[in-house]
């Protein structure tokens, strides 16, 4: 999403739990890859949809564009939205991308583990696929280890490693192989203090 663009981008998807259609509003791009991009988004309510029709998004708060100058975004409503455009990119065939995306969606629909990103909703249409996922505000483990070396103490390392091993063990018990375990693939979920 381009911040200079005055109109927010909306994403409709069907929730995992009850299959109801919900809407999220994109806030900013978190990352981009060859085949997809991931955006930070917030749960959208009917009342909020009218905000922004004048083309104004509001001021920036905590690095996040607010839909309304008077309303601070509820961090509990933040999600990561993975958007995969259909069609070949980077030399990969359209069929290969489609098979990979379907496999990822099928796996995400059946897994449930506290140390794994949770699929909240999804939608596949003619032009793109949308996966609404848990937002991990801590970033990836590579960045955490590089930017916060002073926080990396033996107890925290043991906890990270135990959670990683537990998640991989869970996947293996379900006959799922990750195939891309590296620091950049492991997301860090930070808990905010109460009242924040």
Q: Are 112 and 164 in contact (CB under 8 A)?
A: no
Cα-Cα-Cα-Cα dihedral sign, residues 81, 87, 89, 91: positive
180 is catalytic: yes
Instruction: Give the side-chain half-sphere CA count within 13 A for 85.
Output: 11
Q: State the Cα–Cα distance between residues 75 and 66, nearest whole angstrom.
A: 11
Q: Are 30 and 39 in contact (CB under 8 A)?
A: yes
Q: State the Cα–Cα distance between residues 7 and 145, nearest whole angstrom.
A: 36
Q: State the Cα–Cα distance between residues 68 and 60, nearest whole angstrom.
A: 10
Active-site pick, 62, 74, 180, 196: 180
Q: State the Cα–Cα distance between residues 134 and 117, nearest whole angstrom.
A: 6
Positions marked active-site: 180
């Amino acid at each position: 999403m381009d911040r200079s663009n005055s109109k927010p981008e909306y994403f409709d998807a069907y929730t995992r739990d009850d299959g109801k259609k919900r809407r999220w509003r994109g806030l900013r791009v978190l990352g981009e890859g060859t085949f997809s991009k991931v955006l930070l988004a917030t749960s959208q309510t009917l009342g909020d949809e009218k905000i922004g029709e004048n083309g104004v998004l509001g001021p920036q708060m905590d690095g996040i564009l607010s839909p309304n100058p008077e309303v601070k975004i509820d961090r509990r409503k933040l999600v990561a939205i993975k958007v995969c455009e259909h069609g070949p990119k980077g030399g990969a065939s359209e069929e290969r991308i489609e098979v990979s995306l379907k496999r990822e969606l099928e796996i995400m629909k059946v897994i449930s583990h506290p140390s794994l990103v949770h699929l909240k909703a999804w939608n596949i249409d003619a032009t793109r696929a949308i996966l609404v996922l848990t937002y991990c505000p801590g970033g990836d483990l590579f960045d955490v280890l590089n930017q916060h070396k002073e926080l990396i103490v033996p107890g925290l390392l043991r906890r990270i490693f135990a959670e990683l091993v537990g998640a991989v063990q869970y996947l293996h018990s379900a006959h799922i192989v990750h195939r891309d375990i590296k620091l950049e693939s492991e997301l860090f979920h930070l808990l905010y203090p109460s009242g924040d």
